Amino acid sequence: MRGNEPGHGVLGTTSGSFVKAARLPYRTTPLSPITSCTHGGSTMSHASPRTGDDGRATAPRANAVVAALAFGGIVFSLMQSLVIPIVPDLPKLLGASPSNSSWAITATLLAAAVATPVTGRLGDMIGKRRMLLVSLVLLVAGSVTAALSDSLVPLVVGRALQGLAAGVVPLGISIMRDELPPERLGSATALMSASQGVGGALGLPAAAAIADNFDWHTLFWASGAAGALAAVLVLVFVPESKVRSGGRFDLVGAIGMAAGLVCPSADWSRCRASIDVSACSLSGPVRAPSLP
């Protein structure tokens, strides 16, 4: 009888002779991300990764990212429409003229027009998630300022701060472009764009109900609470995009753009005075040209 030779194992006996089999080599290839084992006739799988090979989020992580960003878009849309039900009452509530009270809406629109390209450029340079959080913080700060106001000026300042959060939607779409897999990008972008319509549809009746049953300051407290919740969701579920464009921020160009957007909506005498008071005083009054 021969003993076991190195590299061989005894599998069994047949007619008194040993049947030897060569030992299989050790597995040297890496295991796949999903491994399976058989136990009791059933196969059990163990999947651990949550991101794809290119670093993009996969479900269910992608679902959380989309939900958090879409909720931020809805909150911003709610903020835009929340003062519309009380516009007729603003002159009486603030002790101001109807024309001046309309600045509660105009200030938000002008601030949004200026903030959208600026926050987009800064997001490309220093991080989209970071600028998204800054936008939501400004929304909360503006809501608190407006909620504490009892006169026109603080309310307009608060509404302008809220308008500076207008970059929430474009920044959210940019983050989706960087983080989501290609098959999810189309539907997620459509949902983010539709969040503005959803927020407006929900905001008008909700704001009217709050204004009829509670103090008008409650509108802004509710907006601040929703903005804080959106910031927490972004902080928890949205990753920071690694895509950076580099370059520098054109401060002079941003100021010129802001002046070009704001001055046509303001009183021309104030804009002219802010640009060159002395030139206006020396040139005399401006007269319309006479027709021949």
Helix (H) or strand (E) holding 11: strand 8-14
What is the structure's pLDDT at 200?
A: 82
- Give the pLDDT confidence of 35-64 residue by residue, as tens digits: 444 444 444 433 333 445 445 555 558 889
Q: How far apart are CA 64 and CA 74, in angstroms?
A: 15
Q: Looking at the whole model, is its pTM more than 0.85?
A: no
Domain boundaries, the chain: 61-236
What is the structure's pLDDT at 271?
A: 45
Helices (H), the chain: 61-81, 90-94, 98-101, 103-126, 128-147, 152-163, 168-179, 182-213, 217-237, 251-262, 268-283
Q: What is the CATH number of domain 61-236?
A: 1.20.1250.20
The answer to whether the beta carbons of residues 263 and 271 sit under 8 Å apart is: yes
CA-nearest of 91, 85, 225 to 147 is 225
Distance of CA 139 to the CA centre of its chain: 12
Torsion, Cα 268 120 165 199, to 10 degrees, reads 110
Q: How far apart are CA 102 and CA 110, in angstroms?
A: 12
User: Which of helix, strand or coil describes residue 34?
Assistant: strand
pLDDT at 194 exceeding the cut of 70:
yes
What is the structure's pLDDT at 17?
A: 42
